[in-house]
Structure formats: C-alpha cells, structure tokens
C-alpha cells in the first residue's frame, strides 16, 4: 500500500501535479521529526555547551571568541586549534544591526560549537560590550561610537 502510494506520487511529479496530490509540507515535517528522533542524545558536554550558548545569547552577547584547549586532556582536533582566538559574531545581535561590528571570522551558527564534536574540550568566551571586543572587529562607525562613550 505504502509503496503504491510512493510510486503514484513519483509518477505525478514527472507530469503535472494532480489536484488531489498531497501537499508537500506535512511530509517534510514528518521527515524532520523522524530525523530528530533518530539523532543520538546529547552528551553532557553538549548539554553544557547549549546551556552556555542560550544563557549568553539571552544575556545579549554579541560575539564569542574560540578558546582552544590543547594538551593531553584537551581537544585534539587540528581544525579547532586553527580556530583558536577566532571571533565569531552572534547573528542578529544589536551591535551588528546598528552596523557597529563587522562579520568577524564568521557567525557562530556557521561552525560547530565548542564541546559539540566528540573529544572537543574547547570553549567560547562571550563578549557583551563593544569595548570588550578586539578593535579589529569593530567597524569605523563602531570605533566612533566607542570613542564617544569613552569620553
Ligand atoms: Zn575542540
């Protein structure tokens, strides 16, 4: 029964969609649900990472610096060592919206997070204020704003 439904669906896609074709949206949603359910549960480290992130974002963090922790008990991933001290911008934050900071070394949602990958012991140091960010990451407007505040 299921197989026949699938074939009739495939057949429809090649020609014009029939008026009684099922809408695509519910099928996509159920696929996503199934994929989520099949995903492995979060490790304790991943839970900590998620907690830290949501606390920081809710607290108004604007960027995060990657802290690579090497050594025998640290993170062995060379690609993480390469990220050391990179500053990732939190998408949609107020300083970005006002054009005060640039795009940094990318956005936090473009890479895996510290502790997310197996064996990772890296961390994020979150920045909440313009003055805390390395000056290189500010735009000209950002630098001007900061200078005004400092005076
Ligand atoms: Zn790592």
What is the Cα 136 distance to its own chain's centre?
A: 22
pLDDT at 143: 95
Ligand 1 mean position to 121 CA, how many Å? 5
Ligand 1 mean position to 77 CA, how many Å? 6
Ligand 1 mean position to 54 CA, how many Å? 19
pLDDT at 18: 52
* Secondary structure of residue 81 in the 3-state scheme: helix
Those residues of the chain that have pLDDT short of 50 are: 1, 6-15, 17, 26-32, 34-35
Ligand 1 mean position to 118 CA, how many Å? 8
Residue ranges of domains in the chain: 2-38, 44-150
Q: What is the pTM of this model?
A: 0.70
pLDDT at 69: 86
pLDDT at 9: 47
- pLDDT digit string (tens) for 61-101? 999 999 998 888 899 999 999 999 999 999 999 999 999 99
125: which residues sit within 8 A by CB, 6+ positions away?
64, 65, 67
């Amino acid at each position: 029964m299921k197989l026949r439904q699938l074939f009739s669906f495939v057949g429809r896609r090649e020609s014009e969609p029939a008026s009684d074709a099922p809408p695509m949206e519910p099928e996509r949603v159920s696929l996503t649900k199934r994929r989520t359910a099949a995903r492995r549960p979060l490790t304790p480290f991943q839970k900590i990472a998620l907690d830290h992130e949501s606390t920081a974002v809710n607290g108004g963090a604007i960027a995060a610096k990657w802290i690579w922790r090497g050594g025998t008990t640290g993170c062995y991933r060379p690609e993480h060592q390469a990220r050391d001290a990179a500053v990732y911008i939190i998408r949609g934050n107020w300083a970005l919206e006002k054009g005060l900071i640039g795009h940094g070394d990318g956005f936090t949602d473009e890479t895996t997070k510290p502790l997310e990958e197996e064996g990772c012991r890296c961390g994020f140091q979150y920045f909440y204020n313009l003055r805390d960010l390395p000056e290189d990451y500010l735009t000209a407007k950002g630098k001007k704003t900061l200078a005004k505040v400092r005076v």
